[in-house]
Amino acid sequence: MFQNRATSLKALTLAFALGLGSLVPLLGVSPAQAQARALPDFTDLVEQVGPSVVNIRTLEKVNPRAQQGSPGDEEMLEFFKRFGIPIPNVPRQAPRQNRPQPQEEEQPRGVGSGFILSSDGLIMTNAHVIDGADELLVTLTDKREFKAKVIGADKRSDVAVVKIEATGLPAVKIGDVNRLKVGEWVMAIGSPFGLENTVTAGIVSAKQRDTGDFLPFIQTDVAINPGNSGGPLINMRGEVVGINSQIYSRSGGFMGISFSIPMDEAVRVSDQLRASGRVSRGRIGVQIEQVSKEVAESLGLGKPIGALVRGVETGAPAEKAGVEAGDIITKFDGKLIEKSSDLPRLVGGTKPGSKSTVTVFRRGAYKDFIITVAEIEPEKVASKGGSGEDKKKSSTASQVFGLTVSDLTDAQRKELKVKAGVRVDAAVDSAARAGLQEGDVILSVGTSEIASAKEFDTLLAKQDKSKPITVLYRRGDWTQYAVIRPSK
């Protein structure tokens, strides 16, 4: 025994003297195995998947300001501004009536990434990459450029499908997200800050990460920056397992945490977009929150699972089926609700019109209800230009507080049983952090009631942009306050 140990020690000493490479055969590990356990080599993956990744540039049409003076006047004004000289009050000449109106110009709007789904030109990307664009330009790795048309976009999942007129393109292979493991190496290819075909790599940090209502994200430490959005997350088998979508950042740049949309979810969305141009999701009409440990213990549930029903919408499928406020929904169609965010995903993935079984925990006993799932209100696709019925752009003040609103229709007022208020069309940045979301109805700002979108914008314009505002808003049958702190 001691002799064997002494022999091993001599072998180790000799191996270190000769270099670590000599240690491999002495430990019974083949060079191939040692290389497999070393850091991965991504060169083959880049050659394999790289040609399937595209750069997407978005353009928007803008009306240039009519020139109010000669080029010399503009240069003089710039001179005054640069050196802090007060601008003289010189009356400008009125524009000539016969002068032709300036033509709309296309200006760059943003840069994103995407990847080829099929050889005939279907491309997947993020919905936020193409949102509001008047024209899309797709550039392949061989420098060919195509104009693309939008097949469909879904803001709730942030998935979009566009099409270019081309054939024989190298399509990606779709991977099985269920086989993806935490700690596994993954790679991203995209156009961060417009730098095309940039490759970054890292590991899967977590799965099923809750950052949205309908999608459990893949979290990685792969470097993702503005412009990477819409690009593929690739496993070591060269398969796409996610779409790079979000980052967690306090600076706007990469800070070690990035999120990708799982490909199984993205494919389900893309299939609907390709079939009908939109995504149909189910709803049952309940407001829910997480079940706390204290509530679970006090009700005899045992452990904090399920979704606690805070309210049930009048006339909604849940009310018709018999679900009540205070119930804890523990299963939907036989699938366990581990946390409250599981419920909207399961319901949202159910075909509207189908019947589903909902299991609730009520006063110490479990009850089953059959619910006919309704359809969630379709998203209103924002259009550029067009008729006078298009939504007007939000004011600067509204943008500071992260809100875009529109007037309520008579039918909406009657349905909600309110006399006034405005509907939230978009809640981002400050408003989103305060808890507001699309579909909420703002009833008042501070102590002032709101009757129209114009009145709302006027009121916000008078607010101190450095101070928070308090809004009273309605969501379903619930009315509550939110404090919105302005973006800086």
452-471 confidence digits (pLDDT tens): 888 888 888 787 777 888 88
Q: How confident is the model at residue 103 (pLDDT cuts 50, 70, 90)?
A: low
pLDDT digits (tens, 9 = 90+) for 412-444: 777 777 778 898 888 877 788 888 888 888 888
Angle (CA) 434 439 443, round 5°: 70
Q: Classify the C-alpha dihedral 279-205-232-129 as positive or negative.
A: positive
Catalytic residue positions, numbered: 128, 158, 229
Extract the tokens encoding 478: 């619930």
- pLDDT recorded at residue 84: 42
Q: How many residues does the chain have?
A: 488
227 in a labelled binding site: yes
Instruction: Give the mean pLDDT of 370-385.
Output: 67
Burial call 109-141: b when 16+ CB within 10 Å, e when fewer:
bbbbbbbbbeeebbbbbbbbbbbebeebbbbbe
Asked if 374 contacts 285 with a C-beta cutoff of 8 angstroms, the reply is: yes
- Report pLDDT for 29: 59
Taking residues 54-70, what's their average pLDDT?
Answer: 70
Question: Which pLDDT score, from 0 to 100, does residue 250 have?
Answer: 62
Interatomic CA distance for residues 244 and 174, integer angstroms: 14
Question: What is the distance between the alpha carbons of residues 63 and 53, in angstroms, rounded to a whole number?
Answer: 33
CB contact at 8 A, 412 and 462: no
| C-alpha closest to that of 242 among 342, 125, 118 | 125
In this predicted structure, the answer to whether residue 18 has a pLDDT above a threshold of 50 is no
| Residues ≥6 apart with Cβ < 8 Å to 483 | 434, 468, 469, 470
Residue 63 counted as an annotated binding residue: no
Write down the residue that tokens 């119930």 correspond to.
327
Q: DSSP letter string over 177-228?
A: GGG--TT-EEEEEE-GGG-TTEEEEEEEEEEEEESSSS-EEEEE-S---TT-
Residue boundaries of the structural domains of the chain: 2-37, 39-64+105-279, 282-375, 396-484
Range from 2-6, 119-123, 126-130, 239-243 carrying the lowest mean pLDDT: 2-6
Tell me: is residue 229 an annotated ligand-binding position.
yes
Which of 77-81, 224-228, 385-389 holds the top average pLDDT? 224-228
Please indicate if the annotation marks 157 as binding a ligand: no
Per-residue pLDDT, 96 = 52
pLDDT, mean of residues 271-290 = 89
**Adjacent-strand bridge partners of 58:** 110, 136
- Residue 253: band (very low, low, confident or very high) from pLDDT cuts 50, 70, 90: low
Does position 385 have pLDDT exceeding 50, yes or no? no
**Cβ atoms of residues 188 and 244 within 8 Å:** yes
The answer to whether 158 is a known ligand-binding residue is yes
Q: Which CATH topology does 39-64+105-279 take?
A: Thrombin, subunit H (2.40.10)
Read off the amino acid at residue 154. D
Separation CA 220–CA 201 (nearest Å):
9
* H helices present in 19-142, as ranges: 23-26, 31-37, 43-49, 71-82, 127-130
Question: Which of 200, 236, 254, 233 has the alpha carbon at shortest distance from 115?
Answer: 233
Question: What letters, b where the CB count within 10 A reaches 16 and e where it falls short, cover 377-404?
Answer: eeeeeeeeeeeeeeeeebbebbbbbbbb
Say what the pLDDT of residue 269 is. 92
Do 282-375 and 396-484 have matching folds? yes
Reported as a single tens digit per residue, the pLDDT across 304-358 is 999 999 888 888 999 999 999 889 999 999 999 998 888 988 998 898 999 999 9
DSSP 333-378: TTEE-SSTTHHHHHHHTSPTT-EEEEEEEETTEEEEEEEE-EEPPP
What distance in Å separates the CA atoms of residue 112 and residue 138, rounded to the nearest whole number? 10
pTM of the complete model: 0.61
d(CA 391, CA 423): 12
Residue 128 CB-half CA count within 13 A: 15
Half-sphere exposure of 424 (CA within 13 A, CB side): 24
For domain 282-375, the CATH class is: mainly beta
CATH classification of 396-484, choosing from 2.60.40.10, 3.40.50.10680, 2.120.10.30, 2.30.42.10?
2.30.42.10
pLDDT at position 379, please?
56
The angle formed by the CA atoms of residues 143, 128 and 240, to the nearest 5 degrees, is 60
